[in-house]
Amino acid sequence: MKKILSDRYFLGRKCIYCSSNKLYRLKDKRIKCKQYEKKYSLTQLKKEMLILYYFYLELSASKTADELDIDYGVVHRKFMQFRKRIAEYCNQEAKKLNGELEIDESYFGGRRKGNRGRGAKNKTIVFGILERKGKVHTKIVENVSAEILMNEIKNKTEKGSVIRHDKDEFAKAKNHINGIEGFWSFAKERFYKYHGINKNNYPFYLKEMEFRFNHRNENVFNLLFDICVRGLV
Ligand SMILES: [Zn+2]
């Protein structure tokens, strides 16, 4: 963390947006970039960076607020802004999937355990498509009618892809780690930490999980910085 904040961006020597070193310091101490005429405050930037760092570490908004001694509401709003930017990024990034694909649906949230039937009433239904050894694409759907699923498959996959929808429990267990089941447990483990997510915010939390899963083998902090703070991608 110390290393990040000693970066030239935070010393006001490099523009946060275009990396140019042609910067002015305004009387109110803000930084102004010659090229884009953008102005920003280093204090604000550092604060945002620290909040992003705890978000990256998957600390809750309330713990982050405690750690940084910032109002919970401020942190929560920032976290939601990050999630919205991540969702935009996921949608831009989503190319049509191809090759051998696995599709499945899963039920999130709600009080009762269990899948279809009674317990499904308060749950959010998530449809997922996973590329072999690759990325997952998720979408919240109203129901799992063939029409809705076919539509999503048509929109998100290349023609000629091989699609597997394996409901066999044995096959599921076998594919647990690399298959879409692996994504469901990755996401559910994280959702479990949150209590009472506002329904309108659910899609953004889901996209955050999709993002984290798809980039799980990378150090995503720099990518998060570009997406959420610099607004570059
Ligand atoms: Zn600039």
Q: Indicate whether 160 pLDDT > 90.
A: no
- Global pTM reads 0.87
Tell me, in angstroms, the distance from the centre of ligand 1 to residue 174's CA.
51
Q: Measured in angstroms, how far is the CA atom of residue 31 from the centroid of ligand 1?
A: 10
Centre of ligand 1 from the C-alpha of residue 17, in Å: 5
Does residue 26 carry a pLDDT above 70?
Answer: yes
What is the per-residue pLDDT across 85-135, written as a single tens digit (0 to 9) for each?
Answer: 999 999 888 778 888 899 999 998 865 555 555 555 678 899 999 988 788
The more confident residue out of 219 and 27 is: 27
Q: State the pLDDT at residue 91.
A: 87
**37 Cα: distance to centroid of ligand 1 (angstroms):** 7
At 8, is the pLDDT very low, low, confident or very high (cuts 50, 70, 90)? confident
Question: What are the tokens at 157?
Answer: 């996959």
Torsion of CA 180, 186, 188, 191, to 10 degrees: -140
Residue 212 CA to ligand 1 center (angstroms) comes to 29
What CA–CA distance (Å, rounded) separates 164 from 130? 10
- Tell me how far apart the alpha carbons of residues 216 and 212 are, in angstroms, rounded to a whole number: 6
CA of 20 to the centre of ligand 1 (A): 5
The Å distance, Cα 32 to ligand 1 centre, comes to: 8
Instruction: Give the dihedral sign, CA 66/69/74/77.
Output: negative
pLDDT, residue 41, reads 94
Domain residue limits, the chain: 2-93+223-229, 100-217
Distance from residue 200's CA to the centre of ligand 1 (Å): 35
Q: What distance in angstroms lies between residue 18's CA and the mean position of ligand 1's atoms?
A: 4
Dist. CA 128 → ligand 1 center (Å): 39
Q: How far is CA 197 from CA 60, 80, 84, 132, in A?
A: 13, 11, 15, 31
CA of 14 to the centre of ligand 1 (A): 8
For residues 46 and 9, give the distance between their C-alpha atoms in angstroms, rounded to a whole number: 10
